[in-house]
Structure 1
Amino acid sequence: MINEGEVPRDLARLVVPLLGGLESTGDLFAPYRLVDGDGRPVAPVAAFFAELAACGRPATTQRSYGMDLLRWFRFLWAVGVDWDQATRVEARDFVRWLQVTVKPARPHWRDPSGDPPSRDRAAAGRVNAVTGKPSRGDRYEASTVAHCESVLRGFYDFHLEAGTGPMLNPFPLARHARPGRAHAHHNPMEPFDRGRRGRYRPKVVTRAPRSIPDDRFDALFARLGSHRDRALVAFWVSTGARASELLGATVGDVDPGQQLITVMRKGTRVLQPLPAAPNAFVWLRLYQAQLFGLVPAGRDEPLWRTLRRPLRPLGYDATRAMFTRANAGLDANWTLHDLRHTAAYRMARDPGMPLTDIQWVLGHAHLSTTQRYLNQPSGIAPGGREPAGGQVSRRAEWCGTAGRGRRLTRVFSRDLLSDA
Structure 2
Amino acid sequence: MAVRNTLFPNGQRSVLLLDDAGEPVQVVNDYLRHLAARNCSPNTLIAYAHDLQHLWRFLTQQRLEWQEFRVWHTVELLGYLRSVRIPLSPRRRSIAEALTIDGRAMAQLAPATVNRILAAVSSFYDFAILSAQLDSANPLEKTLDHQQQRVTSRHRPFMDGASRQRPLRRRVSVKTVDRLPRPMSDEQIDALFAELHCQRDRAILRLMLDGGLRPGEALGLHLEDVRYGQRRIMVRYRNDHPKGVRAKSRFERVVDLHDPTTLEIVNMYVMTERPNDGDSPFVFLVGGAGRRRLEPPGYPALFKLFIRACERAKIREPWVTPHSLRHTHATRMWEAGMRELTLQKRLGHASPESTRIYTRISDRQVVADYRQALGLDHVEPMSGVPLTT
TM-score range, shorter chain: 0.7 to 0.9
Match of 1:220 among 180, 189, 192: 192
Q: Quick one: distance in 1 between partners of 2:351 and 2:284?
A: 30
Confirm or deny: 8 A CA contact 2:144 2:166 kept in the other structure. Answer: no
Q: Quick one: distance in 1 between partners of 2:226 and 2:362?
A: 31
Which amino acid counterpart does residue 230 of structure 2 have in structure 1? Answer: Q
Corresponding position of 1:156? 125
Q: Quick one: distance in 2 between partners of 1:164 and 1:152?
A: 15
Corresponding position of 1:124? 95
The answer to whether 1:255 aligns with 2:241 is: no
Corresponding position of 1:332? 317
Corresponding position of 1:349? 335
Match of 1:273 among 245, 254, 260: 254
Q: Quick one: distance in 2 between partners of 1:162 and 1:39?
A: 25
Q: Quick one: distance in 2 between partners of 1:246 and 1:216?
A: 21
Q: Say which structure is richer in strand.
A: 2
User: Residue 200 of structure 1: SS of its match in structure 2?
Assistant: coil
User: Residue 197 of structure 1: SS of its match in structure 2?
Assistant: strand
Deviations 1:235-267 (A, max 9, x none): 101111111121111222222232222222545
CA distance 1:79–1:60, shift in 2 (3 Å): same
CA distance 1:126–1:237, shift in 2 (3 Å): farther
Match of 1:237 among 193, 209, 213: 209
Unaligned 5+ runs, structure 1: 1-18, 107-115, 128-135, 379-386, 392-420
Corresponding position of 1:417? none
Corresponding position of 1:363? 348
Confirm or deny: 8 A CA contact 1:209 1:377 kept in the other structure. Answer: no
After superposing the two structures, state which structure 1 stretch, 313-322 or 364-373, moved more: 364-373
Corresponding position of 1:113? none
Q: Quick one: distance in 1 between partners of 2:226 and 2:26?
A: 43
User: Residue 134 of structure 2: SS of its match in structure 1?
Assistant: coil
Q: TM-score, normalised by structure 2?
A: 0.72
Which amino acid counterpart does residue 120 of structure 2 have in structure 1? Answer: V
After superposing the two structures, state which structure 1 stretch, 27-36 or 218-227, moved more: 27-36
CA distance 1:89–1:20, shift in 2 (3 Å): farther
Cα root mean square deviation, aligned: 3.8
Matches within 5 A, 1:374-385: 374-376=359-361
Deviations 1:173-215 (A, max 9, x none): 469999xxx99xxxx88x9996442222111221122111212
User: Residue 206 of structure 1: SS of its match in structure 2?
Assistant: coil
1:69 positional shift: 1.4
1:290 positional shift: 2.2
Q: Percent identity?
A: 26
Which amino acid counterpart does residue 271 of structure 1 have in structure 2? Answer: E
CA distance 1:61–1:388, shift in 2 (3 Å): farther
Confirm or deny: 8 A CA contact 1:33 1:41 kept in the other structure. Answer: yes
Confirm or deny: 8 A CA contact 2:200 2:284 kept in the other structure. Answer: no
Deviations 1:46-90 (A, max 9, x none): 222233344443333222222211222233345443322334455
Q: Quick one: distance in 2 between partners of 1:306 and 1:33?
A: 34
User: Residue 138 of structure 1: SS of its match in structure 2?
Assistant: strand
CA distance 1:80–1:305, shift in 2 (3 Å): farther
Corresponding position of 1:284? 266
User: Residue 21 of structure 1: SS of its match in structure 2?
Assistant: strand
CA distance 1:78–1:313, shift in 2 (3 Å): farther
Which amino acid counterpart does residue 338 of structure 1 have in structure 2? Answer: S
CA distance 1:390–1:195, shift in 2 (3 Å): closer
CA distance 1:203–1:269, shift in 2 (3 Å): same
Q: Quick one: distance in 2 between partners of 1:318 and 1:156?
A: 36
1:361 positional shift: 0.9
Confirm or deny: 8 A CA contact 2:212 2:326 kept in the other structure. Answer: yes
Confirm or deny: 8 A CA contact 1:261 1:275 kept in the other structure. Answer: yes
